């Protein structure tokens, strides 16, 4: 199938032989790593790291010199897909929360002294209420200035929330579940954001089996009445959703990823009330499973990070402020990466990236190097062309209008190694090893770059 490069809202490849950021490994010693987060757990003003690897929840103390010391919080879990930090008991230190899928737990640990010494598991709700607890978020849903917890559970298809009565007390765990919506077919990602601008938190959801991006309107500002709104359907395995004002119009937009169709889109909130236009960023983000919005280049508008599991990539999508994104691969060495996060790890004023990956048991951080990644959109030139088939096994064909001057095509490895240059539009690639490659076209003195997969 032919894949077009010409899009109304554009994504450009940031291609540079030295583009990838420097990897700094925190650990490869525990087990398969499924999630990563950051917070200052001991009050020393350095960002520490929270992880789940295997059946171990750990925090990693950052000494300020890029060294990390492991502190275990719990091993009493079974398949935790997420770790999260928030001051649940509002005592001015960061506590730890996580869902644990295969034992149906939704729990938190109190930071007892503000120094990173954590208490035992405390149940937010009973295990019977969350069959396959998968993801959570924290927000004040009822306007009482206390942080509540929202959950998505995969096997009972529930989106629910739990009222914080104060100091992390969630009441009777057997009866405290408040349903936002059910059934939602394996809705695995929940994200709290004020979509309609009315001053309370709504909830955005990615439904993996339902193939939908949805938002639930908090109607009464009390969390007791919710209206379901469809953002987009026919997303093949919608996996994750995040938010930001991507076009600087004062309205909160969404960004979502879907695994099986390799698609990333941003959803423009066109009226500030939750009416969305959907804009394709890319449909070549192979097995993209997680998205996290953050201002990675420090220019005041939100960018985002994405985890591309099957090609082992952590990718930054850098926003020009108008919803046009430059793609930059930060690493292609995170073997089946499933979680990304961002924070200033080395205290130099720049936002670094972090990842958790499964097959290499790795948690790592990547030092922000703007010069190696952040390109102006004006440095990329839009060329209307297609390549097919993609993936390809033998012959890669370039299709381009006859009235333009085709000069050459250059194929590069993901590390920037120049592998092949040709003036032919039919390129034999059978000798290339299986993997991901870039093809850069020169046309009428202009250039553009695309990815392709060699089978």
Neighbours of 378 (CB within 10 A): 7
CA triple 156-159-162, angle to 5 deg: 110
Does pLDDT of 375 surpass 60? no
Residues 6+ apart with CB under 8 A from 209: 185, 186, 237
Does pLDDT of 384 surpass 70? no
Looking up tokens 């940031």, which residue turns up? 14
The DSSP annotation for 333-400 comes to -STTEEEEEEE-TTSSSS-EEEEEETTTTEEEEEE--GGGT---GGGS----EEEESSSBSSEEEEEE
Sheet holding 105-109, edge to edge: 84-86, 95-100, 105-109, 122-123
| CA 201 vs CA 181, 186, 204, 442: distances in Å | 15, 22, 10, 48
pLDDT of residue 12: 47
Reported residue count of the chain is 455
Q: Are 68 and 26 in contact (CB under 8 A)?
A: yes
Does pLDDT of 275 surpass 80? yes
pLDDT bin (cut points 50, 70, 90) of residue 19 is low
| CA 56 vs CA 38, 75, 78, 338: distances in Å | 16, 5, 9, 17
Does pLDDT of 9 surpass 50? no
pLDDT of residue 404: 77
- Quote the percentage of the chain above a pLDDT of 70: 91
Looking at residues 73-77, what average pLDDT do you find?
Answer: 97
d(CA 314, CA 321): 21
How many Cα atoms sit within 13 Å of 202 on the Cβ side?
A: 26
d(CA 98, CA 353): 21
Cis amide bond preceding 288, omega within 30:
no
The token pair at 173 is 């765990």
Q: Which residues pair with 111 in a beta bridge?
A: 118
Does pLDDT of 298 surpass 90? no
Cis amide bond preceding 286, omega within 30:
no
Q: Is 66 exposed, middle or buried (0-12, 13-18, 19+ CB in 10 A)?
A: middle
**DSSP 8-class letter at 119:** -
pLDDT bin (cut points 50, 70, 90) of residue 300 is confident
Mean pLDDT of the chain: 90
d(CA 438, CA 58): 38
Q: What is the largest CA-CA distance in the chain?
A: 72
pLDDT of residue 220: 83
The token pair at 191 is 């994200």
The model's pTM is 0.82
pLDDT of residue 445: 66
Looking at residues 32-54, what average pLDDT do you find?
Answer: 97
Neighbours of 224 (CB within 10 A): 11
pLDDT bin (cut points 50, 70, 90) of residue 173 is very high
Looking up tokens 């995040």, which residue turns up? 242
Q: Which residues pair with 440 in a beta bridge?
A: 410, 449
- 3-state secondary structure string across 105-147: EEEEECECCCCCCECCCEECCCHHHCCCEEEEEEECCCCCCCC
Which residues of 6-76 form beta strands (DSSP E)?
Answer: 11-14, 22-27, 33-39, 48-53, 56-62, 68-74
The token pair at 419 is 């592998």
């Amino acid at each position: 199938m032919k894949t077009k490069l010409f899009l109304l809202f554009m994504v450009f490849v940031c291609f540079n032989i030295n583009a990838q950021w420097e990897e700094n490994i925190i650990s490869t010693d525990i087990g398969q790593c499924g999630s990563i987060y950051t917070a200052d757990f001991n009050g020393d003003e350095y960002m520490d790291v929270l992880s789940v690897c295997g059946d171990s929840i750990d925090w990693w103390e950052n000494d300020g010199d890029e060294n990390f010391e492991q502190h275990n919080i719990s091993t009493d879990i079974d398949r935790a897909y997420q770790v999260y930090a928030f001051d649940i008991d509002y005592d001015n230190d960061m506590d730890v929360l996580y869902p644990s899928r295969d034992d149906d737990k939704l729990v938190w640990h109190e930071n007892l002294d503000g120094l990173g010494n954590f208490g035992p598991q405390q149940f937010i709700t009973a295990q019977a209420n969350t069959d396959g607890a998968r993801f959570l978020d924290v927000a004040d849903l009822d306007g009482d200035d206390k942080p509540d917890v929202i959950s998505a559970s995969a096997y009972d298809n529930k989106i629910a929330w739990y009222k914080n009565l104060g100091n992390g007390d969630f009441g009777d765990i057997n009866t405290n579940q408040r349903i936002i919506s059910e059934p939602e077919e394996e809705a695995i990602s929940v994200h709290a954001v004020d979509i309609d601008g009315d001053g309370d938190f709504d909830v955005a959801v990615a439904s993996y089996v339902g193939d939908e991006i949805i938002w639930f309107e908090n109607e009464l500002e009390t969390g007791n009445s919710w209206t379901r709104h469809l953002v987009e359907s026919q997303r093949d395995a919608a996996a994750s959703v995040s938010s930001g004002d991507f076009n600087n119009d004062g309205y909160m937009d969404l960004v979502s990823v879907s695994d099986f169709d390799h698609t990333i889109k941003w959803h423009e909130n066109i009226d500030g009330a939750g009416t969305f236009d959907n804009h394709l960023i890319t449909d070549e983000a192979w097995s993209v499973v997680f998205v996290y919005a953050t201002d990675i280049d420090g220019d005041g508008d939100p960018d985002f990070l994405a985890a591309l599991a099957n090609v082992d990539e952590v990718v930054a999508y850098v926003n020009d402020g108008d919803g046009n994104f430059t793609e930059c691969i930060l690493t292609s060495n995170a073997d089946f990466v499933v979680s990304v996060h961002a924070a200033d790890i080395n205290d130099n004023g720049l936002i670094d990236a972090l990842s958790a990956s499964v097959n290499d048991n790795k948690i790592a951080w990547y030092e922000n190097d703007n010069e190696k990644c952040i390109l102006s959109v004006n440095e990329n030139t839009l060329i209307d062309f297609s390549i097919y088939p993609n993936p390809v096994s033998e012959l890669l064909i370039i299709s381009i209008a006859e009235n333009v001057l085709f000069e050459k095509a250059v194929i590069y490895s993901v590390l920037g190694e120049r592998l092949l240059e040709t003036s032919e539009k039919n390129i034999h690639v059978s000798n290339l090893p299986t993997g991901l490659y870039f093809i850069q076209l020169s046309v009428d003195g202009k250039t553009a770059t695309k990815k392709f997969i060699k089978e």
